[in-house]
Chain A
Amino acid sequence: MQSGDLFRLLIGLVLLGQAANLLVFTAAGLGDGTPPVVQIGERLPGDGSGDPLAQALVLTAIVIGFGVLAFCLALLSLGRVGEDMSNRKGGRE
């Protein structure tokens, strides 16, 4: 993210988004691998399943992150300013 290059900035953005998703996912507690699905004949999801709320949040976050990325990519390809966006306004980095 701290790189001056716009293309790298986008890559950083994607990675950051993925990391944030992962953070929310893990912060809610990892299960033992059982999905939060109520099996036929049961009334509750399996004991070791992760937190379904966090999963729902992350699911929408993934899709929205994609929408935002597409928007940024559109900006990138529109401006064609990918190479030297930095150092234009006298930014000293």
Chain B
Amino acid sequence: MIHDSIHPACLIGAAFLMGILAPLISRAVSGWVGAVVWGAFPAIAFGYFLAGIPAEPGSVWRDTLPWLSSFGMDWDVWLSPLGRILALMVTGLGLAIALYGGGYFKDRGERGRFFAFFFVFMGAMLGLAVTENLLVLFVFWELTSVASFLLIAHHHGLDESRLSARDALMVTGTGGLALLAGILLLGEAGGSFQIGELAEMSASIGAHPLYPAIFCCIFAGAMTKSAQVPSHFWLPGAMTAPAPVSAYLHSATMVKAGVFLLAILHPVLGGTAEWRFTLLVFGAATMTWGALVAMAQTDLKRLLAFTTLSTLGTLTMLLGLEQTLAAKAVAVLLLVHALYKGALFLVAGALEKATGTRDVRRLGGLMRTMPGLGAAAVLAAASMSGLPPFIGFIAKELVFALKWETPVVGWLLLACGVVAGAANIVVALKVGVTPFLGGGEDLARVEKLPGWRLWLGPSVLGAMSLLLGLFPDRLLGGLVSGAVSQFRAEEPTIKLALWHGINPPLLISVFTFMAGLGVYLARRRIRSTGRHLSERVGGWTAQQVFRAAFQRFLNFAGLLTTSARNGGLGGIVTIMLTVAAAGMVWALWRSGIEGLSKGVSPIRLDALVAVGVTAVAAWGATVARDRMMAILSLGCAGFGLAAIFAVFGAPDLAITQIVVETLTLAFFALAIYGLPAMMGRNAAACLPGMVGKNILAVGIGVLFCLLTLQAQRPDLVEPVGREIGRLSLPEGHGRNVVNVILVDFRALDTLGEVAVLAIAALGVSALLGSGRLRKEGPGQRPVRSAVLIASARYTAPAMVVFSFFLLLRGHNEPGGGFIGGLVFASAAMLGHLARFDGRPSLLRLKPAAAILCGLALSAVSGLPGLTMGSGYLKAVWGPELFVPLVGAVKIGTPLLFDIGVYLVVAGTVLMLFEAMVCAGSHRGRKEGLWT
């Protein structure tokens, strides 16, 4: 079988690839070559799905590509009969549209844009057709919505285009969300996301308490996609798209996706009273409403769009009838409608190109100038009217026969069906016949004859309608029987035939045809009545209601936003803190506070001192009025914190905190240079009016304290840290567990973190400007302390050496890349502040280069693990080396990674420093503070 040699997934990948390449191709080719290039992929894909039709109608080809197996999200590919019909429609119509699009879009850029989204859409649609796993299917489903959005907004300069595209995306996107919810619930109820497995569980799913919710959500998704009343309005709106888009997405393929979904889920969800009732009601309503509105339209594309609605309603209704005959009718009608509606949309586009109008009242007598297009239009219109011997006739007879046989509601459905059938005939005559054979006054002139590509596609589609009608069983029998067997377990023999003799459906057909003809002849009078009616209900079309509601929603959101923020930060912070406090109270209340005392350990004197210093210093920092005092208090608090870390057995943290605190002090000092030394009283801390804020602050502190105590309860969870500690030596080859975590177990996190650092540095240097530091020469010397200069001369080089030491021993003892890098940067800063001549060359490290090298080194160090097959950033170890002073150092990728971290951290701090000093010196010079 062809699917075994070429996987369907390759085809979908190729479609996406075509989409990506389309803008380039568009620039390179046009004319004949272009037609071949654009048409090649749809033609091949069409042949592929045609060749794969199995000899036995009901058989299904299946394969599974593993993806996220733990979430039940594997790409289960299947080629079900219905899926194959959809795929054939997508590729076959796609071929016609590809030819047509090449001639329709003259501008190369425009053509590239169209084909890019066109092929992406085609890939998504094929994915939808061949995917059995509902979660993966949902991905393709949403992708078609996005592609549709982009294609509707093709003329994005026009307001109406953008609004329509937005409406379509909002409606189908909302439906998509509902669908996702429905799929998740279905997975919950059925224990699987695979349609085949779910179908076996259908009895228990139907009886499941979640069934109504599942059905509602999934139906909402299908309903919005297939434009059922009342979410139908986006489809006529989407007619702002170019004609090929309307022909392809909004008549033949994408809008069928909802019906398709309902059809393939019928074995899972069908057979219940809810299913029957809902589908019948919505289907019949859409069918009738679309037909009634269609008859009053004058715009070619809107005429077609409303009959599309009507047909989509018919399909939904058929699915609700649930008989063997219904399945047969759905399969035939899907194909038939795609053929004639696609052709007519293409004709409408060509007419608009030729005459500049889509108003059917201004078109007439064009058969003489455009015979090819006219022939195509007449063929398609005949199929749409349901005339024998076209395939449209078979579809219509099937639908009527079905309604005739349906008990109770059959008569009502039949009445609606006659209206829909008559509307089809009226529209077919208006679009397919009037412009070519009709006459009239004030006709639009033909400005430019359409090229061969604009009539070839519709002609082939029209001819297909005729061909399929003449040999229905030979050409379609297999496909349709397969589709029917997918609906129902028993497999009746399906015969398609054109002529069934004179029977009730035929008589109804004749009656419908007469009615349609009558309406067509009286169309002018009907139109004026229709306009009168629509003026009556003016302002209440679904589209206007939706847009008004959407605007209200935006206004409401704006109101909410402005009421929450008054322009000051304090208000927002207050709200945030209050919400956080409420959340914490709730969490504490939930978990109970009786276990709090279990977490309290005996108080230690050294810890008490450290905590006390920190607390007093932090308080001091908030109330100080002298800036320098505030900074120094802050530093004190930081060192106190470092002491706490040290006391409680975290030497790595303590060292890091000390170095960072030193750097923070220096940076603050640089930043406040030039600001007035004193500042106003801290309003929040002192004013009596601020009592509320202080209460809030203290309350939050107390709550956090309680929460932390709660976290100490040993009975809650087993910390992961123990397990990591156990693995550290045997797998990480390091004795310092903290460092092993950073550079090995969670190296990817660390890589992200150093990248953040690098970005911060780049941001600061972009804000303040850098790189000017070196050029300034030794003119100004901000620090003139002899002690500092003398001591820095010796301490700075020592610190550099010490930083290497820290780096290398980090894996086994406290230290590592972060700490080493910070120490190195401190040394370099010290060297700069003291500005002694003849600095060691190491201190002239270029920060940007260091950051780049470091990031690259860290990123590259992950590659060996990848090539060894164990995954990115998995450690690969080499031999152990003996380094003097440090001891044994094991060589491996984590060491390289740590060196990268070291370089990034050092480079970042230096870059920040340079930027700050630069800004400071500029400011200082401007204000005459520096010489």
Contacts and interface: CB of A to CB of B under 8 A. Distances in A.
A73 B667 contact: yes
Contacts of B919: 74, 77-78
Interface in B527-581: 566-571, 573-574
B327 interface: no
A77 B908 contact: no
Interface string A8-48: 11111011001101110111111111111111100111001
Interface in B760-774: 760-761, 763-764, 767-768
B721 interface: yes
Contacts of A11: 621-622, 630-631, 634
Contacts of A34: 649
Contacts of A65: 660
Contacts of B761: 67, 70
Contact of A25 (B569, B653, B704, B768): B653
Interface string B754-794: 00110011011001100000000000000000000000000
Nearest to B723: A53
A32 B730 CA distance: 25
B742 A89 contact: no
B680 interface: yes
Contacts of B638: 14, 18
Contacts of A50: 648-650, 721
A36 B711 CA distance: 20
Contacts of B644: 22
Interface in B624-671: 627, 630-631, 634, 637-638, 641, 644-645, 647-653, 656-657, 660, 663-664, 667-668, 670-671
B370 interface: no
Contact of B708 (A26, A64, A88, A91): A26
A51 B721 contact: yes
Given A3-B684, A11-B622, A59-B656, A35 B814 contact: yes
A88 B567 CA distance: 8
Given A2-B574, A15-B621, A62-B653, A51 B684 contact: no
B660 A66 contact: yes
Contact of A8 (B622, B664, B720, B916): B622
B763 A71 contact: yes
A73 B742 contact: no
Most chain B beta carbons < 10 A, residue from A19, A58, A66, A68? A66
A18 B726 CA distance: 29
A12 B566 CA distance: 21
A15 B768 contact: no
A74 B704 contact: no
B684 A89 contact: no
Contact of B637 (A5, A18, A87): A18
Nearest to B654: A35
Contacts of A76: 671
Contact of B760 (A2, A7, A71, A77): A71
B689 to A, nearest CB: 10
Nearest to A69: B664
A65 B760 CA distance: 10
B725 A2 contact: no
B768 A43 contact: no
A4 B736 contact: no
Interface residues on A, range: 35 or more
Contacts of B712: 26-27, 29
A89 B565 CA distance: 11
B671 A91 contact: no
B711 A37 contact: no
A64 B697 CA distance: 25
Contact of A67 (B652, B757, B916): B757
Interface string B796-820: 0000000000000000111000100
A67 B671 contact: no
A88 B568 CA distance: 8
B750 interface: yes
B721 A28 contact: yes
A64 B916 contact: no
Interface residues on B, range: 35 or more
A38 B680 CA distance: 52
B719 interface: yes
Interface string B705-724: 00110011000000111001
Given A7-B675, A52-B725, A2 B573 contact: yes
B885 interface: no
A1 B574 CA distance: 9
A91 B648 contact: no
B570 A93 contact: yes
A2 B664 contact: no
B601 interface: yes
Contacts of A40: 735
A58 B818 CA distance: 12
B679 interface: yes
Contact of A14 (B664, B736, B923): B664
Nearest to A70: B912
Nearest to B696: A2
Contacts of B750: 60
B294 interface: no
A72 B520 CA distance: 73
Contacts of A12: 622
Nearest to B624: A11
A33 to B, nearest CB: 5
B227 interface: no
Nearest to A93: B570
Contacts of A74: 671, 763-764, 767-768, 912, 915-916, 919
Contacts of B916: 70, 73-74, 77
B818 A63 contact: yes
B685 interface: yes
A1 B768 contact: no
B741 A53 contact: yes
Contacts of B653: 25, 55, 58-59, 62
Contacts of A59: 652-653, 656, 738, 742, 818
A89 B719 contact: no
Given A33-B647, A62-B657, A4 B568 contact: yes
B630 A56 contact: no
Contacts of B740: 52
Contact of B719 (A29, A35, A62): A29
Contacts of A86: 568-570
A38 B737 contact: yes
A18 to B, nearest CB: 5
18 contacts: A8-B679, A8-B682, A9-B569, A11-B621, A15-B621, A19-B704, A25-B653, A36-B737, A40-B735, A45-B725, A50-B650, A52-B724, A55-B738, A58-B653, A59-B742, A73-B667, A89-B567, A93-B568
Given A4-B568, A37-B736, A60-B750, 17 more contacts: A3-B682, A9-B569, A11-B622, A27-B708, A29-B712, A29-B719, A35-B649, A45-B725, A50-B649, A50-B650, A55-B738, A60-B749, A63-B753, A64-B753, A74-B919, A82-B672, A87-B568
Q: Which 3 A-B pairs have CB atoms at the shortest separation, nearest pair first?
A: A91-B568, A89-B567, A51-B721
Interface of A: 1-5, 7-12, 14-15, 18-19, 21-23, 25-40, 43-45, 48-56, 58-60, 62-71, 73-78, 80, 82-83, 86-93
Interface of B: 566-571, 573-574, 601, 618, 621-622, 627, 630-631, 634, 637-638, 641, 644-645, 647-653, 656-657, 660, 663-664, 667-668, 670-673, 675-676, 679-680, 682-685, 690, 693, 697, 704, 707-708, 711-712, 719-721, 724-726, 728-730, 735-738, 740-742, 746, 749-750, 753, 756-757, 760-761, 763-764, 767-768, 812-814, 818, 822, 905, 908-909, 912, 915-916, 919-920, 923
